Amino acid sequence: MTAVTPTESSDAAHPVNGLDEVVHQRVRLGILTITHEARRVEFGYLRTQLELTAGNLSKHLSVLEEAGLIEIEKGYEGKRGRTWITLTAAGNTALIEEIGRLKQLIARVETADPTEDR
Amino acid sequence: MTTESAPAAGDPRRLLADMRTLAHRVRLDQRMTWSALLVLAAATLVAIPFDWFGMKLDCAPDGSCAYARRGMLYYWPWAMLLAYAAIAFLHVRAARARGLGSRVWPYAITGAVTTVVFPGAWVALAVYFSNHPYPEGPLPYWWYVLDRLVMPWGMIGVTLLVLAWLERNVALLLFTVGYLVLVLLVLPMSDGTRLVHWGGLRAQMAVPQLIVGVVLLLGALGFRRRQR
């Protein structure tokens, strides 16, 4: 009797393997989603919607900016400093791919044989 | 929303649901439906005196009248351009104040493009009937519907459909469908109502416009109230 192990190719095809660690994070996914919908979003709006501290949000924004997924623009409106975030083309693609992978994952779980894990 | 990383094989269904909720919230915060309706209501109501005083009316002794609505032709293209510019300005300003970008541009551009439809149709008809005789007998019903569609009030409705789609706004879609039924099938926008027995043809033309203006105004008030 031989043990059946998953082949390399079937393992690589699993949607989990394609998940981007930068994007596949609850807050960062939220930032990308809001920025995608809003076209352009202000730091304060993100902080309120995601219920984060300014420091925490800044850290996540830095990760996304370093990965080239967003652009951060700082400016002033009157005396008030404002930070605007826009999605880059790479960020848009990353978000679409992430949604695709999540849907694949759901489809895979739903179509999986329930006896497979036993 | 928590800050911890989602496990690689976390709950994708919940992640997608969270994303949908956030996207929906952004769409709600970007909405400024009432201001668009208010500006369009103002444009419609201001058009009434232009139509009234700009109408060229030649009445024969037998009581039959020939008319040309010159005031409308001069008023509406500029009014539409100004109205859509004002709507775009108000939307962008409100969205910016809320910390968001705006989705109004496709709507404003569509609206500005429809500006040419009414004068274009008017010129096309004038050129056509300069070489062709007017048809004998009553015109078919679809002709009236088409005529009302290319008029500014019809174009306002068509453009509102674009706004409803951009805002993913079902309430606005329902309002717009009702509005289009009113201006295309119910109100005699192009030939005036015979139910008015005072003020002559000018008043008969003004009353349907007044109704449209009031409907848009009530729509603006309703959406404003709903947004609060």
- Alpha carbon distance B22, A49 (integer Å): 8
Among chain A residues, the shortest Cα distance to B1 is held by A50
Q: Are the Cβ atoms of A24 and B8 closer than 8 angstroms?
A: yes
Per-residue pLDDT band for B135 (boundaries 50, 70, 90) equals confident
Predicted confidence band at B182 (pLDDT cuts at 50, 70, 90)?
A: very high
User: Mutate which of A39, A56, A85 to test chain B, going by most B C-beta atoms within 10 A?
Assistant: A39
Q: Closest-CA residue in chain A for B97? A: A42
Task: Kindly state whether residue B10 falls inside one of the protein's structural domains.
Answer: no
Average pLDDT over residues A83-107: 90
Range of the domain at A50: 21-106
Question: Does B26 contact A38 at a Cβ distance shorter than 8 Å?
Answer: yes
Confidence of residue B9 (pLDDT cuts 50, 70, 90): very low
Record: contact A29-B103, CB cut-off 8 A: no
In this complex, the residue of A25, A36, A56 whose CB is nearest that of residue B5 is A25
Going by C-beta distance under 8 Å and a sequence separation of 6 or more, which residues neighbour residue B131? none
B88-134 pLDDT tens trace: 999 999 999 999 998 888 888 888 888 888 788 878 877 887 787 77
CATH number at residue A83: 1.10.10.10
B183 CA: distance to closest CA in chain A (Å)? 33
Gap between the Cα atoms of B225 and A67, Å rounded = 43
C-beta atoms of A103 and B19 within 8 A: no
- What average pLDDT does this structure show over B149-173? 92
As for how many domains chain A has, the answer is: 1
Residue that has been written with the tokens 């879609």 in this structure: B173
Q: Average pLDDT over chain B, rounded to whole?
A: 86
Domain membership flag for residue A37: yes
Instruction: Mutate one of B2, B16, B103 to test the A interface: name it (highest A CB count within 10 A).
Output: B16
Give the type of residue at A80: R
Which residue, among A37, A85, A108, A110, would best test binding to B if mutated, counting the most B CBs under 10 Å from its CB? A37
Q: Is residue A111 part of a domain?
A: no
Percent pLDDT > 70 in chain B is 94
* A5 located within any domain: no
Within-domain flag for A49? yes
Examine residue B55 and state whether it is found in any structural domain, yes or no: yes
Provide the residue range defining the domain that includes B93.
32-227
Residues 23-52 of B with CB under 8 A from A: 23, 25-27, 29-30
Phi/psi of residue B87, nearest 5 degrees: -60, -45
The answer as to whether A29 is a domain residue is: yes
Predicted pLDDT of residue B87: 94
- The predicted pLDDT at position B32 comes to 87
Q: Which of A62-66, A106-110, B190-194 shows the lowest per-residue confidence on average (mean pLDDT)?
A: B190-194
User: Residue B81, SS3?
Assistant: helix
Contact A39 B8 (CB under 8 A): no
**Calpha distance B224→B28 (Å, rounded):** 13
- State the pLDDT at residue B132: 79
Assigned domain for A85 exists: yes
In this predicted complex, what is the ipTM? 0.76
Residue B21 lies in a domain: no
pLDDT digits (tens, 9 = 90+) for A26-48: 899 999 999 999 989 999 999 99
Q: Give the strand pairing for B65-69 and B55-59.
A: antiparallel
Nearest by CB: A49 against B15, B22, B101: B22
Q: How far apart are CA A50 and CA A26, in angstroms?
A: 10
Q: Which residues of A touch B (CB under 8 A)?
A: 16, 19, 24-27, 29-30, 33-34, 36-46, 49-52, 56, 60, 86, 99, 102-103, 105-106, 109
Interface test with A, best of B4, B11, B20, B26 (most A CBs within 10 A): B26
Q: Determine, yes or no, domain membership for B1.
A: no
**Tokens representing residue B213 in the block:** 């203006």
| Torsion on CA atoms A11, A16, A22, A25, rounded to nearest 10 | -160
Residue of B nearest to A30 (CA): B19
Q: Is A8 inside a domain boundary?
A: no
Give the count of domains, chain B. Answer: 1
Helix (H) or strand (E) holding B104: none
- Does residue A27 contact residue B1 with C-beta atoms inside 8 Å? yes
Considering CB atoms only, which of B9, B25, B98 is closest to A16? B9
- Residue with the larger pLDDT of the pair A116 and B15: B15
Q: What pLDDT sits at residue B216?
A: 97
Higher per-residue pLDDT: B66 or B34: B34
Nearest one of B125, B162, B163 to B146, comparing CA atoms: B125
Q: Which amino acid is at B127?
A: V
- Inter-chain CB proximity B25 and A49 less than 8 Å: yes
